[in-house]
Amino acid sequence: MTADDAPLGERLASWLEDLDLTGQLAAAGLPTFVRDEADGRAVWTDPLTGSPLAADQLEELDRLLHEQGAEPEHAVPVALVLMARQARLREELLSSAWFGYEDLAQVRGASVNATRFAVHRAGADHRLLVLATDLRTVVPAFQLDATGEPRPELAPVLAPLLAAGMDPWRAWAWLTRPAALLGGLVPERAVLDAEHAALVQHAAVRLAERVTARP
């Protein structure tokens, strides 16, 4: 039996495995599958009922995943691809330095409650990038000085991005990676150079304008 002759559920499973997108199905609220230990067959499950998918449900899933692109048979599930990219980005960012409330409290020499209040206040004032993960609140370390306080030179860069409602993960990535708007400079580093500080601030404002202009 060729790949084209395989049952639909098997074809879908193999296709998603080849694209390395199986881990995004559950996050997208879509049916998921596991490989049967006995014969390796893909067993699909309805996320709402926990029951095996019926043939018509598999056909609907197939249409949904292939609906984008001029040639559906060669299309990719764009939404899942974007989710996978976002997941990889988050993993990369979380592998860099960051603080939880307890660690930051130690650096500041303050109580955890006082630190939590200060972090939330700075976040609300758009002076600090604060992210919520499934397990905890994360404060990226790049934006803090040696005493655990927000770096003052980053204030005019962070403020427009956070005020615009920019996705905090995207803001973290933009601030800590080479930016096209800055000719490849890393914003959080370039802002330390008096020659580039104004350029970084201008780039942040331009980026914030793009965010607010989106429908």
Residue that wins the pLDDT comparison between 105 and 30:
105
In order of 42, 77, 123, 143, 172, the CA distances from 12 in angstroms are: 9, 11, 43, 44, 35
pLDDT of residue 76: 67
- Residue 104, domain member (yes or no): no
Final residue belonging to a domain, choices 36, 63, 93: 93
Examine the domain organization and report whether 125 and 209 are in the same domain. yes
pTM for the full predicted model: 0.66
- Residue 109, domain member (yes or no): no
Q: Which of 48, 28, 27, 35 is nearest to 9 (CA)?
A: 35
Question: pLDDT tens across 136-171, in order?
Answer: 899 999 999 999 999 999 999 999 999 999 999 999
- Residue 34, domain member (yes or no): yes
Q: Tell me how many domains the chain contains.
A: 2
Averaged pLDDT, 59-83: 69
pLDDT of residue 129: 96
Q: Are 199 and 186 in contact (CB under 8 A)?
A: no
- Residue 106, domain member (yes or no): no
Averaged pLDDT, 124-130: 96
Mean pLDDT of all residues belonging to the chain: 88
Q: How far apart are CA 189 and CA 200, in angstroms?
A: 10
pLDDT of residue 106: 97
Question: pLDDT tens across 185-200, in order?
Answer: 999 999 999 999 999 9
Final residue belonging to a domain, choices 64, 93, 122: 93
Examine the domain organization and report whether 131 and 70 are in the same domain. no
- Work out the pLDDT band at 1, boundaries 50, 70, 90: very low
Mean pLDDT is lowest, of 7-11, 18-22, 38-42, 191-195, for 18-22
**Exposure b/e, 102-125, CB count within 10 A at least 16 = b:** eebbebbeeeeeebbebbeebbee
Examine the domain organization and report whether 209 and 131 are in the same domain. yes
Q: For residue 1, what are its two tokens?
A: 């039996």
- Residue 101, domain member (yes or no): no
- Measured over the CA atoms of residue 84, residue 85, residue 90 and residue 96, the dihedral's sign is positive
Range of the domain at 82: 3-93
